[in-house]
């Protein structure tokens, strides 16, 4: 016998039993009814209009929910804040300042006696203050690097290495010394200094800004190297110029053995001394590009005649030659003092004793 809710004939074959309804999971709440696309006419509407039992409802225009609107608004605010901070934040990388023009001083040192000479350059070196100097690039030693407040160890090493490369190319490369080459030096300079560099070689001028000998060591074609083993001694010092700039000061003495161009091996050689004090500066772009800003070049060189123009190239006095001394007596390029005259006298102690 069926229960109170069962049909008189009992549960049809295949139907759910135990009061289970296969549509029980479907909930016909108010939102479901409102969302229906078909709507049944009321009985009154069907009698009056003889219309079909149902009619199609126009689609509802549903806008964004409140939560979606808030989310979109928050994203827009965050995006706008990011753009504002990217443009106006106080930690922007400072705009690189153009490098200063190079200020240069080249002081010729005139010998007080005839220039000493010898057939063997080794004898000259052994009897001169350069006897203990190292040969070539080995004489340009890097100090123990120390990070600064705003630059790392690796950045300081990069600055020191770039300066050493500049000294090697501008003071030791035979093609630069006697062959007139400039590119090995030029490529190591900050691009904003290249106009001044090029003008120095195109139109040399004794104005403290445009002398080739302020950028590099260059000899007159009338002389040649008697020995490729150039003696070198000096120091490098690195420190911060400001929070965005490193400064390296190089102070080195280079000693060359020279003789007349085209002479045979029996011709006497003589020594020529060049002391170069160079001040370099590096911003972060310079460090990244392995380039330098050369801002000060102070050079003492001799034996030279004070009457000779040393702007475009150096014209050394060779073995046996003499010149009238000029300026303060006893200027020594091996010493650490700074000469102030336009021409000095080469100290006798700076010459080899032969």
User: Is the Cβ–Cβ distance between 165 and 188 less than 8 Å?
Assistant: yes
The token duo for 123 is: 């004898």
Q: Are 209 and 201 in contact (CB under 8 A)?
A: no
Q: Considering only the C-alpha atoms of the chain, give the largest distance between any 2 of them, rounded to a whole number of Å.
A: 145
pLDDT at position 342 is 75
Structure token digits, residue 101: 């023009």
Number of Cβ within 10 Å of residue 163's Cβ equals 24
pLDDT at 339: 47
Q: Residue 190 in 3-state DSSP?
A: coil
Interstrand relation of 223-242 and 270-282 (parallel, antiparallel or unpaired): unpaired
**Is there a contact between 97 and 332 (Cβ–Cβ < 8 Å)?**
no
**Quick one: tokens of 64?**
């964004």
Query: Per-residue DSSP letters for 278-334?
Result: EEEEE-HHHHHHT-BEEEEEEEEEES--TTS--SS-B----TT------SSTTB-TT
State residue 12's pLDDT score.
56
**Dist CA 92 CA 106 (whole Å):** 41
Q: What is the pLDDT of residue 83?
A: 76
Instruction: Tell me the Cα Rg of the chain.
Output: 44
The residues that bridge with 135 in the sheet, in sequence order, are 231
236 touches 143 (CB < 8 A): yes
> Sign of the CA dihedral 125, 127, 128, 129?
positive
Residues 325, 90: contact at Cβ < 8 Å? no
Residues with pLDDT less than 70, the chain: 1-64, 85-97, 325-333, 335-341
Task: Copy the structure tokens of residue 158.
Answer: 């990069």
Residue 49's pLDDT is what? 56
Up-side HSE of residue 154: CA atoms within 13 Å toward CB? 2
pTM of the model: 0.71
Q: What 3-state DSSP class applies to 106?
A: strand
């Amino acid at each position: 016998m069926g229960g109170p809710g069962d049909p008189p004939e009992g549960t049809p074959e295949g139907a759910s039993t135990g009061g289970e309804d296969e549509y029980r999971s479907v909930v016909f709440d108010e939102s479901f009814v409102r969302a229906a696309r078909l709507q049944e006419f009321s009985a009154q509407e069907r009698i009056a209009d003889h219309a079909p039992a149902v009619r199609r409802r126009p689609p509802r225009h549903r806008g964004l929910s409140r939560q979606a609107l808030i989310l979109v608004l928050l994203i827009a605010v965050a995006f706008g804040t990011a753009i504002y901070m990217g443009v106006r934040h106080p930690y922007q990388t400072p705009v690189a300042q153009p490098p200063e023009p190079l200020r240069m001083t080249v002081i010729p040192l005139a010998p007080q006696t005839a220039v000493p000479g010898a057939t063997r350059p080794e004898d000259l070196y052994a009897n001169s203050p350069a006897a203990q100097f190292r040969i070539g690039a080995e004489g340009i030693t890097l100090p123990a690097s120390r990070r600064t407040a705003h630059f790392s160890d690796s950045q300081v090493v990069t600055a020191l290495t770039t300066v050493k490369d500049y000294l090697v190319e501008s003071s030791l490369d035979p093609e630069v010394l006697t062959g007139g080459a400039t590119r090995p030096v030029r490529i190591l300079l900050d691009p904003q200094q290249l106009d001044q560099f090029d003008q120095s070689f195109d139109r040399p001028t004794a104005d403290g800004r445009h002398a080739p000998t302020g950028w590099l060591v260059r000899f007159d074609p009338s002389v040649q190297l008697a020995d490729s083993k150039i003696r070198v001694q000096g120091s490098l010092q690195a420190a911060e110029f400001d929070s965005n700039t490193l400064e390296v000061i190089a102070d080195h003495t280079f000693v060359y053995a020279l003789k007349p161009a085209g002479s045979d091996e029996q011709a006497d050689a003589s020594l020529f001394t060049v002391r170069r004090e160079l001040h370099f500066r590096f911003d972060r772009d310079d460090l990244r590009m392995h380039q330098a800003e050369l801002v000060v070049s102070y050079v003492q060189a001799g034996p030279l005649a004070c009457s000779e123009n040393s702007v475009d190239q150096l014209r050394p006095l060779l073995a046996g030659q003499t010149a009238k001394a000029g300026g303060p007596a006893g200027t020594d390029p091996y010493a650490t003092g700074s000469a102030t005259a336009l021409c000095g006298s080469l100290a006798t102690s700076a010459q080899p004793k032969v």
